[in-house]
Structure 1
Amino acid sequence: MGGTVAAVSSNGTYTFTKPNRESITLLAGLGVEGDVHAGVTVKHRFRMRKDPSQPNLRQVHLMHEELFEELRGAGFTVAAGELGENVTTRGIDLLGLPTGALLHIGDEAVVEVTGLRNPCAQIDTFQKGL
């Protein structure tokens, strides 16, 4: 499967968007080094309130750049990192990847798909109607 990494983003504090970076380091079993969502157990605030001991299945958040083009067609302006993703791809059918699929990123990193993420209510605060 061919494709490219269009952007990488991370943030050490809880914010909706994540600034783009020159590079990120993926740590096995943890996620993106220095990112607020890295760790063995869940780091998303809503899920932490429910059960902070549950496994972190969202260590690395991927999003396809083509989504931003679709959103532009609907009148929204969204760029890489603005929806909180760590890795923005191009040319990869992320939505079509089955749970358990292994996605090779760069020369060494392998990310296992653990599922789709449901849109968060904060998206509507970011841009009304999004």
Structure 2
Amino acid sequence: MLIWGSVGMAVSLLVMSIGMHFSSHNRVAAYICAIALTIYIAFFSATWGPVMWIMIGEMFPLNIRGIGNSFGAVINWSANSVVSLAFPFLLNLFGTGSLFFGYAAACVLRIWFVHSKVFEIRNRYLEEIEDGLRKGTLK
């Protein structure tokens, strides 16, 4: 789900980036940007939004799960704050088209990260995941 979500978000951000370059001169490009943003939100809401919260809840051993969930939530919201606070500065620095192209590139990096570093947890019990993490055998 995370890989397909990243692909959908990268493509929609790339379309939005291209549309942003032409949106001030063309009304159709502005509509394309709005549609691309809607598609981005749909992909995020169906994949990265909920899956990350589920993964945070399942990746910590039972004896520290509460603390781990709290730590994961703090990191997640802190990262959201950094992105939100940096957006106006980055927008002034790069402009809309280039900035969204950079966000699309970040989605491509996420595809590599998920493919190489994130293990599958579907159809596994929490105890099985914990045991695999302890032994280092989970893939």
Q: Fold-level match, TM-score > 0.5? A: no
Greater strand content: 1
Greater helix content: 2
| TM class, shorter-length | under 0.3
Greater radius of gyration (CA): 2
TM-score by length of 2: 0.23
TM-score by length of 1: 0.24
- Higher normalized contact order (CA 8 Å, seq sep 6+, divided by chain length): 2
